[in-house]
Amino acid sequence: MTTTGKTRQGGALALTAGRLVAAAATALAVAGGLVLTSVMLVTCASVIGRAFFNSPILGDFELVEAGCAIAVFAFLPYCQLKGGHITVDIVSDALGSRKRRVLAMLNEAVFAAVAGLLAWRAMLGGIDLWRYGETSMMLQIPIWWMFLVVVPALALLCVVCLLRLYLVKTGEHL
Amino acid sequence: MSGVTLALVLFGALLALIALAMPIGVAMLLVGGFGYIMLSGVGPLLHHLSSAPYAQAATYSLSVIPLFILMGQFATHAGLSAGLFNAANAWLGHRRGGIAMSAIGACAGFGAICGSSMATAATMAHVSLPEMRRFKYSGALASGVLAAGGTLGILIPPSVILVIYALLTEQSIGKLFIAAVVPGMLAAVGYMLAVAVYVRLYPEAGPAGPRAPFASRLRSLLEMGPVIGIFALVIGGIYAGWFTPTEGAAIGAAGTGILAVLHGGLRWGGFVECLKGTAKLTAMIFLILIGADLYNSFLALSQLPMTAARVIGDSGLPPMAVLAIILLFYLVMGCLMDSLSMILLTVPIFHPVIVGLDFGMSAEEVSLWFGILVLIVVEVGLITPPLGMNVFVINSFAPDIPITQAFRGVVPFLAADAVRVVLLVAFPSLTLGVLAWMGSLP
């Protein structure tokens, strides 16, 4: 097989991997959305229970906090995948296409590093919570359970940044 | 280097990174982290990062944000925009410029259940732009009115920006929402007057439509019932203390979701689209919140906010002059930065300054009043060049209207904004009157 053939094959492999990453980020976001919808339903049930039957759901605040936190982290990779984070593009729009690409790659690299750092720290934080067996007040939910979503979501965010870096570099699309 | 100098230097660095198209939340994390290291060391920063981002996302009072966003997403799928627009059009459409005024009225109604400006602009453009084109409205007026009307999404509660302001300044979300109602209605009326003046000057820009018979006018009001019901339940319930803001948002989201299913024909595919839209907006806001949390931790360590409050308090400038300078600063910055980042970066500095000055009101009153003023001036940035996001949203619906013409169409509404800000500064009771009347200000 020729060299070009090999690179093309490598490129195709990278694109397939990229599509898998994109599918994972989308699935995670929708799953997070379903968690948020559950939070909404639980809260409504609790308010109705409190207002009409004098029996709110025990620990509903904790479910809301945990559910929303899970949803927020689950949303992060998808938002980056879609380029949804706020940037100011006046300077970059004024640059030539080559410089603009370099700038975009730098920004993706920085974001990947920051996301990686956050994932690493969250993992250590989660391990601490697991070791000390910290739980929520009312429902005794172990806090570290939440980190089973938080850490992979941050790691996926890092991968999505790298994927976008690759796409900018090669000029390819998923 | 003292903490204050460091904070000023790093603020410059932050602006530079933002100008280089780094996502604003990432820039805040980077600069805030660097400052944190300079003032406390690497160890404390690493320790901070292992718990703070999760703690931020798991804060009960912040849970209100994703739920309000979900509510807004359902609202865009609830098929309400056409009903609201037709109702307003039945009453106003026969006037000169009437269709543009109806678009404003419909935006105001939609803003009552949606807390996002761009979503409001996009949703209303979908129904009212074709109508304005059919009656040969000028491109400038048609896009200007929708871009400006979109800002009502955030000026009229519920509003994500007000929630953030409330959390930063420890004010009650319910009171801020109530305080925003009269200024929001003033905004809608002011924009309608701007249309009226504009078509008086340029009659060919907005010809009158046909007159609707009285019976269909009355029938059109029914369309507004569900929107008014949800708005009154959510805002009233939060204010009255029947439920927390988060619970109010959950109820509002559920109500709007039911409406979307029954009235808007929302099915599984649309529901997934709502979830994806919620994911994008929520993640965008929380990345900035997580970044701003670190940046503001560093800012507090640097003691810049306290120093600024002391220096300005001792400077002998009249309070109104300080307020004017701050509002002008927001107007200028708003042309370059998004409103949320601006609020998160500056309110921790400006709020203590303003509350420390003597406006002849209690600290709580000043705080609520300042919040509404800031909300208005930062939103002006959504319709000014070069980054007026609302104008770009409208432009994507009508690419044949040149963007320069669209920005020219915004001018009358900027004038209305200016008049409104002056009125609200001169008469704080416009903002605080309803709360005082309800007896909830000491």
pLDDT tens-digit profile of B295-330? 888 888 888 877 887 888 788 889 999 999 999 988
User: What is the C-alpha separation between B16 and B366, in angstroms, rounded?
Assistant: 33
Query: Percent of chain B beyond pLDDT 90?
Result: 29
Q: Which of B425, B367, B375 is nearest to B151 (CA)?
A: B375
Nearest CA of chain B to the CA of A167: how many Å? Answer: 17
A36, A110, A118 member nearest B278 (Cβ): A36
Q: Which chain A residues touch B49 with a CB distance below 8 Å?
A: 117-118, 121-122
Q: Which chain B residues touch A41 with a CB distance below 8 Å?
A: 254
CB contact under 8 A, A78 and B276: yes
Q: What are the phi and psi torsion angles at B79 (to 5°)?
A: 65, 25
Confidence label for A6 from pLDDT (cuts 50, 70 and 90): low
* Portion 142-161 of A in contact with B at CB < 8 A: 146-147, 150
Nearest CA of chain A to the CA of B56: how many Å? Answer: 8
Question: By mean pLDDT, which of A35-44, A118-127, B187-196 is the weakest?
Answer: A118-127
Dihedral sign (CA B414, B418, B419, B423): positive
Confidence label for B19 from pLDDT (cuts 50, 70 and 90): confident
- pLDDT tens digits, one per residue of B241-255: 888 889 999 999 999
Size of interface A-B (CB pairs under 8 A): 175
CB contact under 8 A, B57 and A78: no
Q: Tokens for B437?
A: 């009347």
Chain A's closest residue to B15, CA to CA, is: A88
- pLDDT tens digits, one per residue of A131-161: 887 887 777 888 888 888 999 999 999 999 9
A72, A89, A110 member nearest B26 (Cβ): A110
pLDDT at A22: 93
Q: Which chain A residues touch B57 with a CB distance below 8 Å?
A: 68-69, 72-73
Give the best residue of B24, B50, B71, B74 to mutate against chain A (max A CB count within 10 A).
Answer: B50
State the Cα torsion A148-A151-A152-A156 to the nearest 10°.
Answer: 160
pLDDT at B67: 92
Q: Which residue has the higher pLDDT, A54 or B94?
A: B94
Does the pLDDT value for residue A38 go beyond 90? yes
Q: Which of B370, B288, B338 is nearest to B117 (CA)?
A: B338
Q: Which chain A residues touch B24 with a CB distance below 8 Å?
A: 85-88
Nearest CA of chain A to the CA of B19: how many Å? Answer: 6
Give the best residue of B65, B230, B280 to mutate against chain A (max A CB count within 10 A).
Answer: B280
pLDDT at B397: 80
* Portion 86-145 of A in contact with B at CB < 8 A: 86-92, 103-104, 107, 110-111, 114, 117-118, 121-122, 124-125, 128
Please name the residues in contact with B374: beta carbons below 8 A apart, sequence gap of 6 or more: B165, B327, B330, B343, B347, B350
Q: Which of B196, B89, B192, B182 is nearest to B149 (CA)?
A: B192
Chain A's closest residue to B284, CA to CA, is: A85
Span B372-396, mean pLDDT? 84
Chain B's closest residue to A29, CA to CA, is: B279
pLDDT at B1: 62
Confidence label for A1 from pLDDT (cuts 50, 70 and 90): very low
CB contact under 8 A, B275 and A37: yes
Does the pLDDT value for residue B342 go beyond 80? yes
CB contact under 8 A, A72 and B66: yes
Nearest CA of chain B to the CA of A89: how many Å? Answer: 5
Residues in a beta bridge with A142: A135
User: What is the C-alpha separation between B391 and B189, in angstroms, rounded?
Assistant: 20
pLDDT at A7: 60
CB contact under 8 A, A89 and B21: yes
CB contact under 8 A, A78 and B280: yes
Mean pLDDT estimate for chain B: 87
Nearest CA of chain A to the CA of B52: how many Å? Answer: 9
Nearest CA of chain A to the CA of B129: how many Å? Answer: 26
pLDDT at A2: 46
CB contact under 8 A, B21 and A84: no
Span A78-90, mean pLDDT? 86
A72, A121, A125 member nearest B282 (Cβ): A72
Report how far apart the first and last C-alpha atoms of chain A are (Å, whole number).
25
Provide the b/e sequence for B278-294 (b: ≥16 CB within 10 Å).
Answer: bbbbbbbbbbbbbbbbb
pLDDT at A137: 78
pTM: 0.88
Q: Tokens for A136?
A: 């929520």
Query: Percent of chain A beyond pLDDT 90?
Result: 49
Span B67-87, mean pLDDT? 86
Span B70-87, mean pLDDT? 85
Span B56-79, mean pLDDT? 87
Q: What is the ipTM of this complex?
A: 0.91
Q: Which chain A residues touch B51 with a CB distance below 8 Å?
A: 125
Asked if A84 reaches chain B (Cβ–Cβ under 8 Å), the answer is: yes
User: What is the C-alpha separation between B108 and A27, in angstroms, rounded?
Assistant: 35
| Cα distances (angstroms) measured from residue B271 to each of A127, B278, B286 | 36, 10, 22
Does the pLDDT value for residue B190 go beyond 90? yes
Q: With contact defined as beta carbons under 8 Å apart, do B423 and B430 qualify? A: yes
CB contact under 8 A, A110 and B242: no
